[in-house]
């Protein structure tokens, strides 16, 4: 699985802590982590929580990534921004129980975490435990197990409603403020990671044109 990590500007100083925790769990399980930034508080390309959501939408809809790990001070802004995007189902995760239940019940493709609120002593251990509960087990099996069928049915209904409520990603990219879009895809490693992994030709072409403009 291709996992994309996206860090918002207010928490960029913690980038290496989050990346190390994620890779230490995900990579031994056979997943690949692509860190799209930010990498430090001094990065030239700065990501707001709104840009986190836009970037998550680009990566999921182009199939450049299968799962998004993001966050901000409280996790709330990134969670809202991600869920505004088509085909992105993001959970707000504070602890390993949240991670497990989101994976089993909602089976989404993104999480947002708080990297300031409650981020205290041994915070990296909480991060590792959350990632372990997400990635070392099969998701979508339901909890409790006897409700698995109705949970799967509700996920399908939810996806249908979200499809009806959102535009396709290419329409969104053409409609949003183009300076905002350019800023969201200006990261140091975006070009290297995105164009090597994205599968949607129309999205790749539009992103390429925006970067060249």
148-162 pLDDT, tens digit per residue, is 999 999 999 999 999
Residue with tokens 């129309």: 202
- 49/204 Cα distance (integer angstroms): 23
Specify the CATH number for the domain of residue 26. 3.40.1400.10
pLDDT at 102: 98
Q: What is the pTM of this model?
A: 0.96
- Residue 138: the pLDDT is 94
**Beta-ladder partners of 4:** 34, 68
How far is the C-alpha of 103 from the C-alpha of 139, rounded, in Å? 5
Number of H helices, E strands in the chain: 10, 5
Tell me what the mean pLDDT of segment 62-67 comes to: 98
For range 184-196, the mean pLDDT:
97
Q: How far is CA 122 from the centre of its chain?
A: 23
* Residue 18 CA: distances (Å) to CA of 25, 145, 173: 11, 31, 28
Q: Calculate the alpha carbon distances from 29 to 13, 25, 103, 107, 138 in Å.
A: 27, 7, 16, 18, 12
**What does the alpha-carbon distance between residue 167 and residue 65 come to, in Å, rounded to a whole number?**
20
Which strands form 110-114's sheet, in the order they lie side by side? 32-35, 2-5, 67-72, 110-114, 90-92
Q: Domain of 109? A: 2-212
Per residue in 8-64, pLDDT (tens digit) is: 999 999 999 999 999 999 999 999 999 999 999 999 999 999 999 999 999 999 999
pLDDT tens, residue by residue, 71-111: 999 999 999 999 999 999 999 999 999 999 999 999 999 99
Q: Structurally, how many domains does the chain consist of?
A: 1
- How many angstroms separate the CA atoms of 201 and 110, rounded? 23
pLDDT-derived band at 134, boundaries 50, 70, 90: very high
* Confidence label for 69 from pLDDT (cuts 50, 70 and 90): very high
Residue whose entry in the numeric block shows the structure tokens 């690949």: 32
- For the chain, the straight-line distance linking the first and the last C-alpha, in angstroms and rounded, comes to 32
**Where do the H-state alpha helices sit in the chain?**
15-26, 49-61, 76-83, 96-101, 123-135, 148-165, 169-175, 178-184, 190-197, 201-212
pLDDT of residue 139: 95
pLDDT single digits (tens) 103-132: 999 999 999 999 999 999 999 999 999 999
């Amino acid at each position: 699985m291709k996992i994309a990590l996206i860090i918002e500007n207010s928490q960029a100083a913690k980038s290496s802590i989050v990346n190390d925790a994620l890779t230490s769990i995900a990579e031994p399980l056979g997943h690949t982590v692509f860190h799209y930034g930010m990498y430090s508080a001094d990065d030239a390309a700065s990501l707001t929580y709104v840009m986190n959501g836009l970037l998550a939408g680009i990566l999921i809809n182009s199939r450049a990534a299968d799962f998004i790990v993001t966050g901000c001070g409280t996790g709330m802004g990134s969670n809202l921004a991600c869920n505004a995007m088509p085909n992105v189902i993001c959970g707000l995760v504070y602890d390993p129980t949240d991670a497990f239940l989101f994976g089993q019940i909602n089976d989404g493709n993104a999480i947002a975490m708080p990297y300031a609120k409650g981020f205290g002593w041994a915070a990296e251990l909480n991060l590792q435990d959350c990632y372990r509960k997400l990635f070392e087990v099969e998701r979508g099996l339901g909890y409790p197990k006897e409700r698995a069928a109705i949970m799967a049915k509700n996920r399908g209904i939810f996806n249908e409603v979200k499809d009806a409520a959102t535009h396709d990603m290419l329409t969104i990219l053409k409609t949003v403020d183009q300076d905002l879009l350019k800023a969201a895809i200006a990261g140091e490693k975006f070009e290297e990671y995105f164009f090597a992994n994205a599968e949607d030709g129309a999205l790749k072409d539009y992103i390429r044109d925006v970067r060249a403009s």
